[in-house]
Each structure stands twice: as structure tokens, then as C-alpha cells.
Amino acid sequence: MNNSLFGESGIQITVFLVIIPILAGLLIAIVKTYAVYQRLKSRRKLLEFEKKVKHLSPQEVEQYEKRRKELEYHLPENQLSGNLAPSDEKGIISNINSIEELRVIPHKKSTFPQKYISPELSKLILYFLGFSVLWLLVGTTVGEYLGIKFVAPDTDHVSWLSFGRLRPVHTNLVFWGWSSFAMVGLSYYVIPRVSNIEVFNLKLGYYTLILMNLAVISGTVSLMAGINNGGGEYREYIWPVMALFAAGIVLSLYNFLKTVALRVTKEIYVSNWYIVAAMMYVIVILVVAYLPFWQHGLGETIIQGYYMHQGVGMWFMFLNLGLMYYFLPQQLNRPIYSYSLGILAFWTQILFYTLIGSHHFIFSAIPWWMQTVAIVASVGMVIPVVAGTTNFLLTFNGNWYQLKTSYTLPFYFISILFYFTGSMQGTVEAFRFTNLIWHFTDFTVAHSHMTMYGIITFMLWAFIYTLVPRLTGKEPPKFWVGIHFWLALIGLTFYIVSLMIGSTEKGLIWMAKKPFIEGVVTMAPYWLWRAIGGTMMWISHFVFAYNFYKMVNSEVEIKIPASPAEILQAKKELRNTEFSHPK
């Protein structure tokens, strides 16, 4: 062991990984600031344009009218070709309306509704996304209250609002409520879209929606009433509640398998691999976690590590990666960089991620060989993470300029960076020295927010901002999307950096065998920064909810006149307004 804390490789790698998204955020801030400056210049030009339009002379109006007619002139269709029938001896233009290839990426991005899916399916998807937004607000409001309790622990003395009951309410609401609803809803778009066929059965989708809502509502009430599954983190819901959730997933899995089986396309696109596999895994995970046969002694602990990590890696992460393989190429209007890298990441994640659950219990009574296997598998996760990150970033290649003008791509970019940094930080945290310092401290909370929030939530926001305008034809207010992005990113940075620093100090205090209360006192200022960062994140969720509302229920955007015909029309409307309202 090195005498210097920063001499340890695990600490050095963690610091480096935390700095990456911070620098990326600063870079985006600079680019966005320059874009704001350019918009301010454009607004000034717009004001000058409006003054000019208002005082157009009759001669200028006549010139614009003349120019409009010149621009609108078209040659008669047969003036150059004559009346001869077209000849296609080479077969170049025959069958131009047929589609042989996999339709993954639309030829042209548009904010108008895309007619690839039925209005009925669009409605189902929006219901899923709407409930996901609701559970995000409820779940993170509970989390905000818990963050305040770290600073003011005597806020209340109501049993239903005690920390021990509300903490699992918060985690399960954002897990099974916000994230799962959004993921399943988005899957109902991607699965039939890449299969080029309508979803097999819409009713099954609504049954899933009902069962998942029943699970979340009943689970939340039971947890607040003190009815839970015991000490298993993230599996506090009792088995009848999770049976409802699992039943909903089984129905949608059957729905998706039938849709893929009836596909028009020859190949199964990689997105469907990830989505279907994730839904299979979450069912297996829940069955393994809730069957009573091995819930005794160390077996229960090993199963807890398996459940906790498979839930994150093989449900949330796996399904979101599948969505990323569809939505990122669609948003950039170009194919994924490498299909092979996607398949490599798919199989290596299945190989390594299913073995790493025990790295939460280093130096425990679990067999040493099992701990070592978990550490080795954690290092093996470098392969799928690097493959996926490389694939996504190289898909950006040649399109980096779009970060300046797009309101969705910053969410994609930051989530990809957190996918790399958060996953690699998890690998480093599995090392024995770093685990010795950070285990049982708030560092685990920082890591979970770095992954579940920085990766999963940012990805879901990116997908929702991409898809909903395509379903409704209505875009969110770009200014408020920016406010949402920066509040969430800056708040998350405050949250994870403060907890990582404070937890490292606390771990060193414990290793020095100092009194436990000294670690609590040391964490007090860091818990305050946690509350500040969490509050920023919480506020950003209400901004997101407002943006979602505007996407599903917004007015038509006003267009500024640009062409001669539009300028003349604006002048005509202005003249009519002046005549209609005499002074």
C-alpha cells in the first residue's frame, strides 16, 4: 500500500474519470455561449428587418414582387424533354419506390409527425412516457426530502415519513416507476419500427401499463406503511408487488417476440437484441431474487449482490443501450459506426456483468475465490464499455458541429461520457484497496447516481426529446431544454463530487480507527452540498415535465418571414392591421 492516497492507481483513475464529464460540460458551455451570442446578433438583425418591412416604399415592394415572380418561375415539364416517352435502358430508375434495405434511419429529420407507426401506438407510447414523468416527479420529490433530512434530521417525527421507509420509496419509484416506464414505452416504438411492422397486440401494451402502475402504487404504499421484503436493497417491494411488475413485463416480452417474429426485414437489428434480452433478464433476475430456496445466510447475501447488479446492468443499462443503438443514429441521420462493435459489446456484457455482483462484498465472509472472480469480471467490463463508447463517439464523427445547435445531442453526449466514466469508476471501485476505503460510505450513493442518473436518466431524456416531437409534431421550448440540461448536469456534479470527496475522508477516518461520530461530523458540509446539488436536479425535473407538456400540448411556432413571398405577405398583413385599427 502506498503512503500517499493519490499514489493508489484506483484513486488516480477515479479522479481522472470524474474530471472527464466536468471538462465536457465546460466545453459544451463554451459552445452554447457562443451560440447564444450568435442568436443575440440574429435578433438584432430581426429588429432591423422588422423596421425595414414597416417602412418599405412602393418601389421596394414592386422590386420584391418582381423578384418573387422570377423565383417562382418554372419551366414547363416538357419544354426541354419534349413529348417522347422516357427510356430506362440501364434500369436505373425502375422500382424506385420499393424498399429493400432495413429502414432504421429516416432520410430527413423533421419535427412533424412521422407516419411510421399508428396513432393508436403513439398514444400508448405517450401514456408510458407520461406516467414515467409522473413517477420521476414523485420519486425525486421523496429523494429531495431525504436530502434535506441529512441537513435537518428532525424535520418530522411521522413514521410513514421516516428515513428508513422513504429511502426505498425513492429508489424503487425511480427504478420501477420513472426508468422502467420510459424504457418500456420507448421500446414500443423501436421494436416495431426496426421490424418494419405494427406491434403485435396493443392491448397487451395497455395491460403492461396497468400492471406496472399497480405494482408501483401498491409497493409505495406498502413501503411507507412499513411492509417490506427485509434488508435487500432495491428489492424492498414484497413478492406480490413484484409479481405484478413481472407479469406486465412478461406480457410485453411476448408482444415484442411476436412482433420480431413477424418482421418484414430479414435481419434483427441490434437494438432488438438488447431490448428483448434485457426483458428476459429482468424476469430471470426477479425470479431468482424472490424465490425463498437460497435466502439463508451467505446465500442471501450472494443473491442480493447478483440481483442488485443485474438489475442495473442487465435491465436498465442493457435496454438503454439498445435504445441508444436506434435513437443516436436516427438523431444524427447516419448509421451506427460499427454493427460488429455492438455485437461484441452485447456478448461480452452478458459474459462479464453477470459475474460481478459479489464485488460489493469484498473482505466479507463470502468465499475469497468468488470475490476474486467478481473483481476480474469487473475488469473484464472494460471490453463492452470501451466497445460501446467507441461505437457511439465514432458515430458522432463528422457531426460534432451539431452539438452547437441541437438541444438533444448534449444529452446523448453527456450520457455517453458518463457511460464510460461511471462504468470504469465501478470497475476501479471493485479493487480491494479502493473498496476498503469506500465501502459502507456515501461513495456508493455517488456512484449509483453517476450511473443511474448520469447514464440512464440522461439517455432517457435524450430519447424522449428525440421521439415525442416526431409523434406529436410539437417541439419543446429550446430555452427550457437548456435550463433542464444545465440544472441537471451541474446539480449532479455537485452531488457526486461532494460525496466522493467526503466519503474518501470518512473512509480514511474509519481506517485510522477513529470514533464513528468523527466521520459523521466530517460529512456534514458534504451533505449540505449533496442537498444543494440534489435540489438543482429536482428542479430540473419539473422543467423537464413542463417541456414534456409543451411537446404534447403546444401552440404552433411562429415563423419569421424570409423569402420575398413571405416578406410581401407580412407587409400585406401589416397594412391590413393598420387599416383595421385606425388611430
Give the 3-state DSSP-derived string for 167-203, with helices as H, strands as E and coil as C: HHHHHHHHHHHHHHHHHHHHHHHHHHHHHCCCCCCHH
Instruction: Supply the pLDDT for residue 578.
Output: 45
φ, ψ of residue 473 in degrees (nearest 5)? 75, 15
In the DSSP assignment, the letter for residue 367 is: -
Minimum mean pLDDT range among 8-22, 320-334, 480-494, 526-540: 8-22
**Across 112-137, average pLDDT:** 86
Say how far apart CA 429 and CA 434 lie, in whole Å: 6
Instruction: Supply the pLDDT for residue 49.
Output: 81
200: how many CB neighbours lie within 10 A of its CB? 19
Instruction: Measure the CA angle with vertex 274, ends 169 and 456; round to 5°.
Output: 35
Domain assignment present for 190? yes
Reading the block at residue 260, the C-alpha cell is 420480431
Q: Which residues lie below 8 Å from residue 169, measured CB to CB, with a gap of 6+? A: 139, 142, 220, 223, 224
Domain assignment present for 104? no
CA 444 centroid distance within chain: 21
- N- to C-terminal Cα distance for the chain? 86
CA 320 centroid distance within chain: 7
* pLDDT over 70 (residue 6): no
Domain count of the chain? 1
- C-alpha distance from residue 193 to each of 130, 267, 465 (Å): 21, 13, 18
Domain assignment present for 30? no
Q: Please name which of 171, 72, 39 lies closest in space to residue 564, comparing C-alpha atoms.
A: 72
Say whether 230 sits in a helix, a strand or coil. coil
Domain assignment present for 391? yes
Q: Please name which of 146, 155, 18, 29 lies closest in space to residue 534, comparing C-alpha atoms.
A: 146
φ, ψ of residue 577 in degrees (nearest 5)? -65, -40
Instruction: Provide the pLDDT confidence category of residue 579 given band limits of 50, 70 and 90.
Output: very low
Say how far apart CA 530 and CA 536 lie, in whole Å: 10
- C-alpha distance from residue 421 to each of 18, 206, 389, 505 (Å): 7, 37, 10, 22
Instruction: Give the CATH number of the domain where residue 307 resides.
Output: 1.20.210.10
Instruction: Provide the pLDDT confidence category of residue 106 given band limits of 50, 70 and 90.
Output: very low
Are the C-beta atoms of 288 and 307 separated by less than 8 Å?
yes
Instruction: Supply the pLDDT for residue 52.
Output: 79
Q: What percent of the chain has pLDDT over 90?
A: 45
Say how far apart CA 331 and CA 416 lie, in whole Å: 15
* pLDDT over 90 (residue 147): no
Q: Which residues lie below 8 Å from residue 132, measured CB to CB, with a gap of 6+? A: 177, 178, 179, 180, 181, 182, 185, 460
Question: Got the DSSP string for 449-500?
Answer: HHHIIIIIIHHHHHHHHHHHHHHHS-PPPHHHHHHHHHHHHHHHHHHHHHHH
Helices 368-380 and 382-396: crossing angle in degrees, nearest 10, is: 20
* pLDDT over 60 (residue 2): no
On the 0-12 / 13-18 / 19+ scale of CB atoms within 10 A, 34 is exposed
Helices 443-451 and 409-429: crossing angle in degrees, nearest 10, is: 140
Say how far apart CA 439 and CA 55 lie, in whole Å: 72
The counts of H helices and E strands in the chain are: 21, 0
Q: What is the pLDDT of residues 379-416, one digit of tens each?
A: 999 999 999 999 999 999 888 888 887 889 999 999 99
**Across 218-233, average pLDDT:** 88
**Across 520-531, average pLDDT:** 90
Reading the block at residue 42, the C-alpha cell is 440574429
Reading the block at residue 516, the C-alpha cell is 464513528
In the DSSP assignment, the letter for residue 161 is: G
* pLDDT over 50 (residue 11): yes
- C-alpha distance from residue 148 to each of 152, 265, 442, 530, 533 (Å): 6, 52, 15, 9, 11
Domain assignment present for 430? yes
Instruction: Supply the pLDDT for residue 3.
Output: 56
Q: What is the pLDDT of residues 347-391, one digit of tens each?
A: 999 999 888 888 888 888 889 999 899 999 999 999 999 999 999
Instruction: Supply the pLDDT for residue 227.
Output: 92
Domain assignment present for 474? yes
**Across 292-320, average pLDDT:** 87
Domain assignment present for 103? no
**Across 102-126, average pLDDT:** 63
Say whether 397 sits in a helix, a strand or coil. coil
Minimum mean pLDDT range among 10-19, 205-214, 531-540: 10-19
Domain assignment present for 234? yes
Say how far apart CA 182 and CA 48 lie, in whole Å: 45
* pLDDT over 80 (residue 519): yes
Reading the block at residue 255, the C-alpha cell is 408482444
Which residue range is the domain that position 318 belongs to? Answer: 119-550
Q: What is the pTM of this model?
A: 0.79
**Across 20-49, average pLDDT:** 80
* pLDDT over 50 (residue 105): no
Instruction: Provide the pLDDT confidence category of residue 161 given band limits of 50, 70 and 90.
Output: confident
Say how far apart CA 545 and CA 269 lie, in whole Å: 32
Q: What percent of the chain has pLDDT over 70?
A: 86
**Across 280-285, average pLDDT:** 94
In the DSSP assignment, the letter for residue 266 is: S
Are the C-beta atoms of 422 and 450 separated by less than 8 Å?
yes
